[in-house]
Structure 1
Amino acid sequence: MIGWLKKRLSSGKVSTASQMVFEATRQPSGGRSRNRTRMAMGAFFLFYAVIAGRLVYFGFQDPNGDGGPAAHITASRPDIVDRNGSVLATDIKTFSLFAEPRRIIDADETIEKLSTVLPDLAMEETYKKLKSGKGFIWLRRQLSPRQQNDIMQLGLPGIGFRTENRRFYPAGPVASYIVGLTNRDNQGISGLEKYIDDQGLADLQASGLATPADLKPVKLSIDLRVQHIVRDEALQAMQRFHAIAAGAVVINAKTGEIVAMASVPDFDPNNPVGANDKDKLNRMSAGLYEMGSTIKSFTTAMALDSGKVNLNSTFDARRPIVIGRRTIRDFHGKNRILSVPEVFIYSSNIGSAREADVVGIEGHREFLKRMGLLDRMQTELPEVAKPTEPKVWKKVHSITIAFGHGMSTTPLQTAVGAVALMNGGRLMPPTFLPRTLDEAMAVSKQVVTEKTSEDMRYLYRLNAEKGSGKKAEVPGYRVGGKTGTAEKVVNGRYSSNKRFNAFLAAFPMDDPQYVVLSIIDEPEPEKPGMGATAGSNAAPIVANIIRRSASMLGVKPDFRQEEPVTLVSYE
């Protein structure tokens, strides 16, 4: 039968119906095979298309979109150096620990092992982070190389490190209020560090252009050697006189450069724990105080500069001044008519009040404003307080402000004003950056006459020899100055046992090169029975600073000019 069918097929004599039956019996088997092949090829194509699509998708995604570390999380900063090139701030490399919670296998084991290297790790908080399912979290910033190595030895999956820049301050707390601080992302938040950011560094960092090779060191006007001396003397005085704070500043009288400035208590910027405590304040520029009798320097200069008073003028200090409910007395009254030099060296409140009265209320305020004592000081340091004054000046205000009460300003502004009284009458905005003599002249303005400046130099020297500034004397350097002992306001009243003392000085007085101001807040007598006035505690700070730093400042002693100054006296 089969043979017959083959013959029929080969001969073409099989009917059409028979062929259709034969084809139908062959088709199902071959069609299914081809379909399976097509389906398999389609599945493989779809699988690899999904993979390729995901790769393309991830390729276009922001790599930091899941909270990962930014490309420039801690950009570089320029070194900060003193005027002689000594480093005050620089970048160092540190390691920061991060985790990828999605890759953490066992959060409990991870925390347990990490705590062997970081015993202060917050267990509960870290556990929540590791179980968050996020793509990236910081665990600890700025680790030491040893900590990094110890953690790497643990071999924990999902744990990694990122190299970051951290700010290091080789001088520690010596210039902390000047140099300032950065945050954990290496961004300036105070002091000159913040000033540098505000001058364009922050924009460079954001654009990725703040590379170490492109950042030149920022040179300051500070002399680190003198800065160390100033801070050391302030610390010693605070401890010696049991004060709550102390400070001092040294200013170049020819250029307005700040050579050194310290305020204690201070902080270590390498470990700024407690830097925001209420007692950690840069009192020199951010503290407002009634500066006491140091303000009499400006009162006397104002009277002399008005042309209505000269060194031979006299003022009646025989009786107290009564105005309203206020009675103005002298601390150590002479009860007689005083010459201008006597008003100054005896620090007569009555005499100073009468000097102000000669000029008048409007003239008085205008002069203090001209000297920069009533406006917020313009300088590179961000931490600068705005002085306070009466809303409406009346005669009683003018009288009390004449001897240093009723108006508050910063110690630094007081020293800056004194620079103008010593250097021939030119007021210069203070700077923490180097400045040449020509640059200083370009930014300064004449605020008093050269004759007034000459008279004030005479009075300063006279006070150091015969008045309250005797303890500021340094042989060979012809120091001159003015004391200021101000009662502090407590609960709206002046306290007789809480004082803010200051000594405002310059040297050498024949041609002043530097102005030095010291302050001491709430000093107590060094020993029972001793005084606590500025002459006994603030003046010695200045003397010690000058004695230790004058040679570093380039001022040579001259013992040939140690001749006494003559006092003009009227009995």
Structure 2
Amino acid sequence: MSLVSKIVLAKRRGHLNVSALRVKNRKKVDLYKQGKTRVVLVAVGLVIAFAASAARLVEYGVRDPAAASDILPSDKLMASRPDILDRNGQLLATDIRTVSMFAEPNRIVDVDDAVEKLATIFPDIDRKGTYAKLSAKSSRFAWIRRQITPRQQSQILELGIPGVGFRPEKKRFYPGGNTAAHVLGYVDIDNRGVAGMERYLDEQGLLDLRAAGLTSDMPLEPVTLSIDLRVQNIVREVAAEALVKYQAQAAGAVVLDVETGEVLAMASLPDFDPNQPSRTLPDGKVDKEYEKGWFNRISNATFEMGSTFKSFTLAMGLDEGKVTLNSVIDASRPIRMGGFTIKDFKGKNRPLTIPEIFQYSSNIGTAGVADLVGIERHQEFLTRLGLLSKMETEMPGVATPTQPKVWKKINSVTISYGHGAATTPLQTAVAAASLINGGRLVPPTFLPRSAAQANDIAKIVIREKTSEDMRYLYAWNGIKGSGRSAQVEGFNIGGKTGTADKVINGRYATDQNFNAFVAAFPMDRPKYIVLTIIDAPQTGENGGRTAASTAAPMIKSIIGRAAPLLGVAPRFGDPGAEYLLANY
């Protein structure tokens, strides 16, 4: 190859190398520009995302919390109730601060994970129900668990579940638990009264104040009841012991001031804990047996009160002037009437004086007194004593007595000794108080009442002389009759037992009794009425199942423990006999 050819070939090769280098450099520039554009786009995207997040956070910050989550306003969640005190200033009910857990389903990320985590804190949680709540993405609010403990709140916070929060609330607390359950009643989850005096407070305007937002986290004047917590505790303990000891279906008692009508204590067993008015079984169902304790047998139920009604029949005969304490009624033979035979449980089969009729609890003698008075006057007298109409008091849910639609002679006869008409035990105690306090019927109250206030509303239902005679009969029976098993040395107790065949499905059972004892003390200066009931006892003192073996020992225990606390000083010797000799 010539020199010239070599030079030409070299130039061509160099030209090609330069062209290739230029193409290569051009490609590098294009890639750089493309990468720069991508970085800019990513940066812009991040800025937009952060700006959107910031805007969302600002929105949540300035939006009304209640509107954001559809939670009840704070003034509803923090609505206060007044403290409830006993007559001596002891605390019976109060509000405490607590928190409740809620969720915002639209913010829950993993529903399954949230439910599993919550179940570690609340093993009894309704998993299906909770899952359904949290899965409703259109929902902004759902309660998960109301009124949890601080420890539970701390444990939930540690779980870090998105969309779960807490709101402060008020919870009602009853320091005595079951002690005064039926007097106080209880409140629902939103702190609204459901039963007892809690419901009464709402009915007096507290609910309206709450609705207007005027009870939100503000101090309210405490409400004082007539209840004496010391006596209340004794009454409940005695009823609870009797329930077990006598293998009964139910038991109860009430203590009443005969001058003012104040209820100092009232208990009905079975009962419940107002801090936990309902219970859930392991399978998630409501414990129906526990809820039977809601039933207050002292004021919310009616019973045929048995021979305690003989007090009213004899008082009627005395007040109508048909008999005196010296009158004699023939009780030598059973009475046959309308296909029924009326006889005595342990008849003396002879004429009896009025005190003997009371002492031996003679059905025949009592029926004879009712017959002397007559049907219309009999019905009118029991109505006058408040035994046949609904009782007026603060306690909600008071039962209405039952009586025959049309009174016939057989009705008057059987009602005279406590069968055929049903009334509440509290009404029986109130009517009995009118027999021994001078003849004044004073409506019962669960609020403090002075003697002067009681006089203003009292109604004279029997003559003073009739009341004197009834005090004598109560004292007589306390010393010589069925009241002996209720006697406490030094306290001069009088009263009347009542053993009634229990009504089951509209028929009288021959093997089950409803027993009661109405007592007054001290009989020389009566101050208090105590009435006890025991439903269907299977046993009793010395193997008996009558009121003298069951209800009367309850009276003895209550008065023996409560009388000193009520300021009744014992008088030893035989004050009962002294009273009878001094007055008759």
Pairwise TM-score range, normalised by the shorter structure: 0.7 to 0.9
Q: CA-to-partner distance for each residue in 1:132-167, whole Å, 9 max, x for gaps?
A: 121111111010000001111222221100010011
Please show how residues 247-396 of structure 1 align to structure 2 within 5 Å: 247-272=252-277, 273=279, 274=287, 277-278=291-292, 280-396=294-410
Q: CA-to-partner distance for each residue in 1:397-447, whole Å, 9 max, x for gaps?
A: 000000000000011100000110111000011000000011111111100
Please show how residues 401-550 of structure 1 align to structure 2 within 5 Å: 401-526=415-540, 530-550=543-563
Question: Is the alpha carbon distance of 1:279 and 1:267 closer, same or farther for their aligned partners in structure 2, counting shifts above 3 Å?
Answer: closer
- TM-superposed CA distance for 1:198, in Å, is 0.4
How many residues of Structure 1 are paired with residues of Structure 2 in the alignment?
A: 517
Instruction: Please state whether the residue corresponding to 1:516 is helix, strand or coil.
Output: strand
Contact 1:300–1:355 under 8 Å retained in 2: yes
Instruction: Please state whether the residue corresponding to 1:286 is helix, strand or coil.
Output: coil
One-letter identity of the residue aligned with 2:197: L
Contact 1:461–1:565 under 8 Å retained in 2: no
- TM-superposed CA distance for 1:490, in Å, is 2.7
Q: Counterpart of 1:120?
A: 124
Question: Is the alpha carbon distance of 1:565 and 1:322 closer, same or farther for their aligned partners in structure 2, counting shifts above 3 Å?
Answer: farther
Question: Is the alpha carbon distance of 1:302 and 1:466 closer, same or farther for their aligned partners in structure 2, counting shifts above 3 Å?
Answer: same
Q: Counterpart of 2:411?
A: 397
Q: CA RMSD in A?
A: 2.3
Aligned equivalents of 2:461, 2:513: Cα separation in 1: 31
Q: 1:234 and 2:225 equivalent?
A: no
- TM-superposed CA distance for 1:279, in Å, is 5.5
Q: 1:558 and 2:562 equivalent?
A: no
Contact 1:254–1:440 under 8 Å retained in 2: yes
Question: Is the alpha carbon distance of 1:446 and 1:138 closer, same or farther for their aligned partners in structure 2, counting shifts above 3 Å?
Answer: same
Gaps of 5+ in 1: 1-46
Aligned equivalents of 2:177, 2:323: Cα separation in 1: 50
Aligned equivalents of 2:216, 2:109: Cα separation in 1: 38
Question: Quick check: 393-402 or 490-499, which moved more?
Answer: 490-499
Question: Quick check: 327-336 or 409-418, which moved more?
Answer: 327-336
One-letter identity of the residue aligned with 1:86: Q
Question: Is the alpha carbon distance of 1:112 and 1:567 closer, same or farther for their aligned partners in structure 2, counting shifts above 3 Å?
Answer: closer
Question: Quick check: 480-489 or 559-568, which moved more?
Answer: 559-568
Aligned equivalents of 2:291, 2:131: Cα separation in 1: 32
Question: Quick check: 103-112 or 479-488, which moved more?
Answer: 103-112
One-letter identity of the residue aligned with 1:116: T
Q: CA-to-partner distance for each residue in 1:62-99, whole Å, 9 max, x for gaps?
A: 94486323331351111111111111111111110011
Q: Counterpart of 2:98?
A: 94
Contact 1:462–1:565 under 8 Å retained in 2: no
Aligned equivalents of 2:177, 2:468: Cα separation in 1: 41
- TM-superposed CA distance for 1:379, in Å, is 0.7
Q: CA-to-partner distance for each residue in 1:316-363, whole Å, 9 max, x for gaps?
A: 111111111011111111111111111111111011111111111000
Question: Is the alpha carbon distance of 1:280 and 1:101 closer, same or farther for their aligned partners in structure 2, counting shifts above 3 Å?
Answer: closer
Question: Quick check: 264-273 or 113-122, which moved more?
Answer: 113-122
Contact 1:221–1:431 under 8 Å retained in 2: yes
Instruction: Please state whether the residue corresponding to 2:515 is helix, strand or coil.
Output: strand
Instruction: Please state whether the residue corresponding to 1:148 is helix, strand or coil.
Output: helix
Question: Is the alpha carbon distance of 1:73 and 1:212 closer, same or farther for their aligned partners in structure 2, counting shifts above 3 Å?
Answer: closer
Instruction: Please state whether the residue corresponding to 1:283 is helix, strand or coil.
Output: coil
- TM-superposed CA distance for 1:383, in Å, is 2.5
Q: Counterpart of 2:134?
A: 130
Aligned equivalents of 1:493, 1:157: Cα separation in 2: 62
Q: CA-to-partner distance for each residue in 1:503-558, whole Å, 9 max, x for gaps?
A: 1100000110100001100112247x722111111111001101101111111111
One-letter identity of the residue aligned with 1:283: R
Instruction: Please state whether the residue corresponding to 1:226 is helix, strand or coil.
Output: helix
Question: Is the alpha carbon distance of 1:561 and 1:137 closer, same or farther for their aligned partners in structure 2, counting shifts above 3 Å?
Answer: same
Q: 4+ residue runs of structure 1 moved beyond 4 angstroms?
A: 565-568
One-letter identity of the residue aligned with 2:160: G
One-letter identity of the residue aligned with 1:282: N
Please show how residues 120-199 of structure 1 align to structure 2 within 5 Å: 120-133=124-137, 134-199=139-204
Q: CA-to-partner distance for each residue in 1:257-281, whole Å, 9 max, x for gaps?
A: 0000111111111122247734642
One-letter identity of the residue aligned with 1:143: I
Question: Is the alpha carbon distance of 1:557 and 1:95 closer, same or farther for their aligned partners in structure 2, counting shifts above 3 Å?
Answer: same
- TM-superposed CA distance for 1:497, in Å, is 1.0
One-letter identity of the residue aligned with 2:191: N
Q: Counterpart of 1:4?
A: none
Aligned equivalents of 1:214, 1:238: Cα separation in 2: 40
Instruction: Please state whether the residue corresponding to 2:309 is helix, strand or coil.
Output: helix
Aligned equivalents of 1:74, 1:185: Cα separation in 2: 9
Question: Is the alpha carbon distance of 1:267 and 1:212 closer, same or farther for their aligned partners in structure 2, counting shifts above 3 Å?
Answer: same
Percent pairwise identity: 56
Aligned equivalents of 2:302, 2:484: Cα separation in 1: 27
Aligned equivalents of 2:435, 2:505: Cα separation in 1: 35
Contact 2:68–2:140 under 8 Å retained in 1: no
Instruction: Please state whether the residue corresponding to 1:285 is helix, strand or coil.
Output: coil
One-letter identity of the residue aligned with 1:295: F
Instruction: Please state whether the residue corresponding to 2:550 is helix, strand or coil.
Output: helix
One-letter identity of the residue aligned with 1:68: I
One-letter identity of the residue aligned with 2:301: G
TM-score (norm 2): 0.85
Aligned equivalents of 2:176, 2:197: Cα separation in 1: 15
Aligned equivalents of 2:95, 2:132: Cα separation in 1: 33
Q: Counterpart of 1:33?
A: none
Question: Is the alpha carbon distance of 1:426 and 1:149 closer, same or farther for their aligned partners in structure 2, counting shifts above 3 Å?
Answer: same
Q: Counterpart of 1:68?
A: 71
Q: 1:85 and 2:82 equivalent?
A: no
Q: 1:244 and 2:249 equivalent?
A: yes
- TM-superposed CA distance for 1:567, in Å, is 8.6
Question: Is the alpha carbon distance of 1:325 and 1:64 closer, same or farther for their aligned partners in structure 2, counting shifts above 3 Å?
Answer: farther
